[in-house]
């Protein structure tokens, strides 16, 4: 893991784009914004290639017996799974409900007899569990974190295997396009394309101790996710 500050990335972009002496048209604040956009571009590529080849976060929500909706973490990007544990310590993965199913899941008769939640749905910045769960049940959310945005020169971003090259080349290509330096733009585009191919290989090596194996689909839910025998 390599740590790079915003100042370091800005300096690298200026040199790669050959605009060290052209700060009037390409001020530092503008290049800082390009760097942040480059970070977002790298994050999107990682997410497309393998959602788990990005920083993963988790949080546990404890239900209160009254609410059905609870706020998502501030760094939430996209959901990987919801592990629900009821008052009897029984676990299961929750399935997402469709919006047309909500009326049935919130029916007073269903709510009064519900002993646990069985479904969830992401609604804006909240997650809803239905039927309404009783108090002291818990739901552990595994999720992909949102993009790191740098606002001051001393702030840092952590990158694996010097992936900051992608950020630098992406920002430098944007400058090359603005300057109509098509030769430099084409060269940087080719470098970025090659980098994506390398990302695919690196992403497959995230867990070298986990070889491919046959999965018994008898224990998979309708979304193809594996259910352990001991889980309900």
Q: What share of the chain is helix, strand, coil (3-state, %, to 5)?
A: 40, 25, 35
Find the radius of gyration of the CA atoms of the chain.
23
Q: Give the DSSP letter of residue 217.
A: G
First to last CA, the chain: 39
SS3 call for 14: helix
Q: Which pairs with CB-CB distance under 8 Å and at least 24 residues apart come from 221-228? A: 221/93, 221/95, 222/95, 223/95, 225/81, 225/93, 227/92, 227/93
Higher-pLDDT residue of 108, 95: 95
Tell me the pTM: 0.68
98 alpha carbon, distance to own chain's centre: 23
Specify which residues 67 forms β-bridges with: none
Q: Tokens standing for 199?
A: 């990302």
Q: Give the DSSP letter of residue 100.
A: G
Sheet holding 69-71, edge to edge: 69-71, 126-130, 119-123, 95-96
| Residues constituting the chain | 232
Mean of per-residue pLDDT scores for the chain: 84
Q: DSSP of 168-183, one letter per residue?
A: HHHHHHHHHHHTT-HH
Higher-pLDDT residue of 21, 228: 21
Higher-pLDDT residue of 28, 111: 28
Residue pLDDT, tens place only, 126-168:
999 999 999 999 999 999 888 878 888 888 887 777 788 999 9
Judged by average pLDDT, the poorest of 33-47, 124-138, 171-185, 213-227 is 213-227
- Give the C-alpha separation, 15 to 23, whole Å: 12
Residue ranges of the domains in the chain? Answer: 3-7+9-25+36-49+164-204, 56-145
Specify the pLDDT at position 206.
Answer: 63
Specify the pLDDT at position 212.
Answer: 63
């Amino acid at each position: 893991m390599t740590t790079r500050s915003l100042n370091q990335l800005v300096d690298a972009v200026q040199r790669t784009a050959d605009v060290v002496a052209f700060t009037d048209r390409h001020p530092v604040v503008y290049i800082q914004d390009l760097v942040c956009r480059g970070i977002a571009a790298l994050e999107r590529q990682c997410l497309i290639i393998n959602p788990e080849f990005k920083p993963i976060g988790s949080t546990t929500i404890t239900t209160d017996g009254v609410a059905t909706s609870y706020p998502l973490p501030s760094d939430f990007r996209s959901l990987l799974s919801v592990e629900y544990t009821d008052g009897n310590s029984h676990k299961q993965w929750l399935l997402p409900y469709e919006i047309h199913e909500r009326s049935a899941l919130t029916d007073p008769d269903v709510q009064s007899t519900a002993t646990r939640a069985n479904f969830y749905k992401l609604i804006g910045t909240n997650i809803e569990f239905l039927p309404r769960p009783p108090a002291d049940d818990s739901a552990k959310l595994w999720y992909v974190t949102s993009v790191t945005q740098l606002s001051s020169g001393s702030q840092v971003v952590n990158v694996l295997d010097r992936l900051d090259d992608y950020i630098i080349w992406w920002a430098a290509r944007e400058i090359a396009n603005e300057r109509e330096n098509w030769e430099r733009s084409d060269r940087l585009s080719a470098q970025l394309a090659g980098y994506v191919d390398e990302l695919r290989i690196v992403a497959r090596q995230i867990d070298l101790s986990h070889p491919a194996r046959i999965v018994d689909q008898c224990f998979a839910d309708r979304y193809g996710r594996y259910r352990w025998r001991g889980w309900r």
